[in-house]
A and B are shown apart, each in its own frame.
Chain A
Amino acid sequence: MIQPRRNHWAVLAVMLVGALFFASTELTTRLLGAHATTFERISTLEREEEALDKTLLQTAFLLYTSFDPLHAHLAELRQVSDALLADHKLDRSAFAEVHAALLDYRALVDEKEGRILRFGTLNALIKNAVSHIAALGSRYTASYGSDHSPYLRHMAQATASVFRISRGFDLDPLETLRESYDALAALPLPEAAEQAKLIQTFMVHVRLFIDTYPQYQESFETLRALPSEAALERVRSAFLAAAAERARQIRYITLALGLLFLACVVLVLLVLKRLDTSHRALTLLHGRFTQAAHSDRLTHVRNRFAFEQAVAEAPADAVLLLFNIDRFGAINDLYGHTSGDQLLKQVAAILSAHFAARPDYRLYRLGSDQFGLFCSPLQEPLEQVADALRAKVEGQRLHLKGHAVAITITLGMSRAAPWLEHADLALKAAKRAGLKQLEYRPELGEESEVAHNLARLEAVQCALDEGRVVPWFQPILDLRHDRVSAYECLLRVVDADGAVALMPGELLPLAERGRLRGPLTQVMLERSFEAFAQSDLDFHLNLSAHDLGDPQVEEHLDALLARYPGSGARLVLELRAGEQEGQWGALEGFITRMRLHGVRIAIDDFGGDHASLVQLLRLPVDTLKIDGALIRDIDRNPDAQALVESLVQLVSRIAIRHTCAEFVHSAEVLETVRRLGVDYAQGFYIGKPAPEIGKAAFTTENREGAENG
């Protein structure tokens, strides 16, 4: 995953390089502008230099001319070269040579001006001399042309020489001119004053010409030879070289920056690509997290978190059906936790499939074995939905490690927020009351239940203290001899009048939590032994897993067996099928010790629970009490008949001697179990529990009841 900071750096780098790139472009443009200006100035110098030379030639050639153009050109040369020298752009080391050449040139300009001025002085002298020689010659010819004196000849020769020298720039005829001059000087002056003055003036100018011309010519040649143009050429070439070097540097810099810029663009593209990749990965991950956060890992239905979200958005008319699997802990214990998980998965799968096409029903797993069906909007009557749900779950055979298992569920329902809390209360209330389902009502509130529990605990404690915890006795019919041969001792809390105050179903779990179970069992044992001390009837006592785990109970049993000799042979201890799982070894030891006293062992509620048959049948058990769930409608249910029949046959083949049918509530049921070969029968049809032995006489009255003994 890319760190955001690195992306920032990448973007910063790109911006920096971009800025550098544009800055360098701008710089290059400016530099080129400066170079163009400099080059233009150098060109101006060259032009002016050329113009100066031309003007100079003109000045040398023309008799009447102005010196002003010379000064104009010189001023331009000074000004432009000073501007170049002042240009700080040429002050850098790269242009050091240009600067040096410019300084040389500038010095040459000053020197040239000096020489031009010197030449100008000599030029004026020479021009005047030449002009006057010609003019005087002309005047002489006009005045004295008829005179064939040697003057005219020498003057003409001198004039010719001056012409040759001045126009030919040639010093050779100077000697001839001297000769003419000397010849003139050697002649006596004519007597005519005007003529003599003319000749003298002529000679003064020739003399001046002879004396000045060599200087004049030398001055002109020195001026021409002045290396100002070469110096300017050096300036130009040095500048071109420096500028070319500069341009090369700029090209490299621009190239490098361009490449850097491209690299940065590539970098950004990479960053973008990686960002895109990580974005997609994150999106995917986010999707998975969302799904994981909202769904249960085991069953893949929505989880508690999803439920809370759904609740937050749910309309007020939503309905929650909360249910859990009855005796799920026992299933876990019997088949192992993996199997329990399998069971949950199967239940979830069944319901998911069932409600897949109904978006208004949403299934959630809200606890270990607790599911919720959240309905919004509710389109059918709530009872109908609950029945459908129950039918779907309970109607399925679930498969655990090759065993087909049928499960039941208990439902708690709520039509209003807070749905879960209310439905949970209703569910607990339903469990407590042994109901299949219950809809929340305000009086099921937590406070009332706690108070209720406390009140009942207090009542039990009070009953214990006041000796109102008593065994009631329910007859067990020996079907082979058709007589009541035994009674099952059932715990009852009675009021002062001896009427039942509390039923054990709601009492015992409470007692276990309130640590009252031990005292209750002790009372039951003592009272039951005492009741049957003088009887020859068998008596059945129930021991719970809690009791079996309590060493005091066995000690107490031993004491009672010792106190009432012979009672051991009549005592049948009923252990609830399924409660003993996980402690087979301890149980086996307990049974073995009890059997030494002649005590018989019965397995209670066999077939209704998920007791592990194999383990059970290994125990040295005497009687198997078949669960009421199998017996209740056995007269009309052929499956139950087949099951019980095979159970009876099975038992006859192993060490278990007897079977006993519970919940026999009618004559038809009694006849059915009798026909199926069950040894004993127990139930309301035979006799309800009663506070005294024998009081509950065998009755043929068909009754219904929830008591299964």
Chain B
Amino acid sequence: MPLRALFCLLTLLLLTTTTHAMSPVAPIPLHPSYDAQRAALGLLLFSDRRLDADGDRACADCHRLDQAASGGAQDGLHGHGPVAGVNAPSLFNSRHNFRRFWNGRAQDLRGLIRQSWRGQSAQAIDALLTEDPTYRTRFATLYPGQTPGLPEVIDALAEFIDALTTPNARFDRWLRGELTLTEQEQLGYQRFKQLGCISCHNGINIGGNSYQYQGAVVPMQQQSLGADRFALTGDPFDHNRYRVPSLRNVALTAPYLHDGSVTDLRALLYLHAYHNIGFQLTPDEVESLVAFLDSLTGERPAVLDAR
């Protein structure tokens, strides 16, 4: 049957030319470069509610360290337009994201913290650093010759956030040839690629390196909450276009999506596959994908244990 033969040949051609690719995912470096002492000081600050003007919230209250520094829908502390209800994204491995925030409106971490600082005034920070004996001694040691103030606080916080990396995920170790993934996990990765998830979730952070549509194939009835690119650029092309979140530690970062509207990973997979790749996944497919995604959970960042 010439028609079928031709069809088969074409299909084969398309698949061979497009599936033959270099590894689209890279492992997290084992030894991230950062100043351990400043990062440790940053951890103190990150968890210190006294930095807040109202005194009732620390950074760690939204970016929960037991949830890969993510935290669900928040009231928009880093205000840039109407962002109330936006899901606080994970800060783990965020140094490998090409942009920060859902719409990628910031790139430089220190600049971001400085511009979006909603904590204590500079004078109050100065007073805190002078009064608190721990801060007094540690700032004096780590920033010699300077009177510590907000810039040093921001520096220590940034150093801490940069230190939040999670190497040695099972998947990374598999990439490095250190272990063999389970069949389920391998199957999940194969499906991850076949389904085209990899088109957006690739690179070292398996995401976090491009802007893509939410509801690319089948539009979603969902409020952007001003967190999409359109809120930033006003370009109609950017409606519902977001920075792709990293899938690293995705098992820990529920709830999901920019509005934190989905709390279950499996539910997310069904929903996300339908709207973004036009498929209705089978439970079998979802299970394998979940197995693969679980293998992306890395080690707890070393800095969290440095006190």
> Which residue of A67, A120, A131, A137 contacts B18 across the interface (Cβ within 8 Å)?
A131
Q: Chain B contact residues (Cβ within 8 angstroms of A): what range?
A: 35 or more
| Interface residue? B210 (CB, 8 A) | yes
Q: Is the CB of B17 within 8 A of A167?
A: yes
> Which residue of B18, B19, B210, B218 contacts A121 across the interface (Cβ within 8 Å)?
B210
Q: B176 to nearest A CB, angstroms? A: 16
Q: Is the CB of B203 within 8 A of A163?
A: no
Give chain A residues whose Cβ lies under 8 Å from the Cβ of B202: 64-68
Give chain A residues whose Cβ lies under 8 Å from the Cβ of B24: 64-66
Bound Cα distance A145, B204 (Å):
40
The A-B contact count (CB < 8 A) is 121
| Interface residue? B265 (CB, 8 A) | no
Q: B3 to nearest A CB, angstroms? A: 6
| Interface residue? B30 (CB, 8 A) | no
Give chain A residues whose Cβ lies under 8 Å from the Cβ of B279: 132, 201
Given A120-B210, A120-B211, answer yes or no on A156-B7 (Cβ-Cβ < 8 Å).
Answer: yes
Bound Cα distance A70, B279 (Å):
29
| Interface residue? A205 (CB, 8 A) | yes
Q: Is the CB of B14 within 8 A of A134?
A: yes
Q: A116 to nearest B CB, angstroms? A: 9
Give chain B residues whose Cβ lies under 8 Å from the Cβ of A132: 196, 277-279
| Interface residue? B22 (CB, 8 A) | yes
**Which of A122-130, A388-396, A439-447, A666-674 interfaces with chain B?**
A122-130
Given A117-B210, A201-B279, answer yes or no on A62-B13 (Cβ-Cβ < 8 Å).
Answer: no
> Which residue of A62, A123, A145, A163 contacts B22 across the interface (Cβ within 8 Å)?
A62
Q: A120 to nearest B CB, angstroms? A: 4
Segment 186-236 of B: residues with Cβ below 8 Å from A: 193-194, 196, 198-200, 202-204, 209-213, 216-218
Q: A406 to nearest B CB, angstroms? A: 111
Q: Is the CB of B237 within 8 A of A118?
A: yes
B96's closest neighbor in chain A, by CB?
Answer: A68
Q: Chain A contact residues (Cβ within 8 angstroms of B): what range?
A: 35 or more
Main secondary structure of the interface of A (DSSP, over half): helix
Q: Is the CB of A128 within 8 A of B21?
A: no
Q: B53 to nearest A CB, angstroms? A: 34
| Interface residue? A160 (CB, 8 A) | yes
Given A71-B98, A121-B241, A163-B10, answer yes or no on A205-B194 (Cβ-Cβ < 8 Å).
Answer: no
B202's closest neighbor in chain A, by CB?
Answer: A66
Q: Is the CB of B7 within 8 A of A117?
A: no
| Interface residue? A496 (CB, 8 A) | no
Given A66-B209, A120-B211, A121-B210, answer yes or no on A135-B194 (Cβ-Cβ < 8 Å).
Answer: yes
19 contacts between A and B (CB under 8 A): A64-B21, A64-B198, A68-B26, A68-B204, A120-B211, A124-B200, A127-B196, A128-B196, A130-B14, A132-B279, A134-B14, A134-B15, A138-B11, A138-B15, A141-B11, A159-B7, A159-B10, A163-B10, A208-B216
By Cβ-Cβ distance, the 5 closest A-B pairs, closest first, are A63-B18, A64-B21, A128-B196, A68-B203, A124-B199
A-to-B contact residues, CB < 8 Å? 62-68, 70-71, 117-118, 120-121, 123-125, 127-128, 130-132, 134-135, 137-138, 141, 145, 152-153, 156, 159-160, 162-163, 167, 197, 201, 204-205, 208
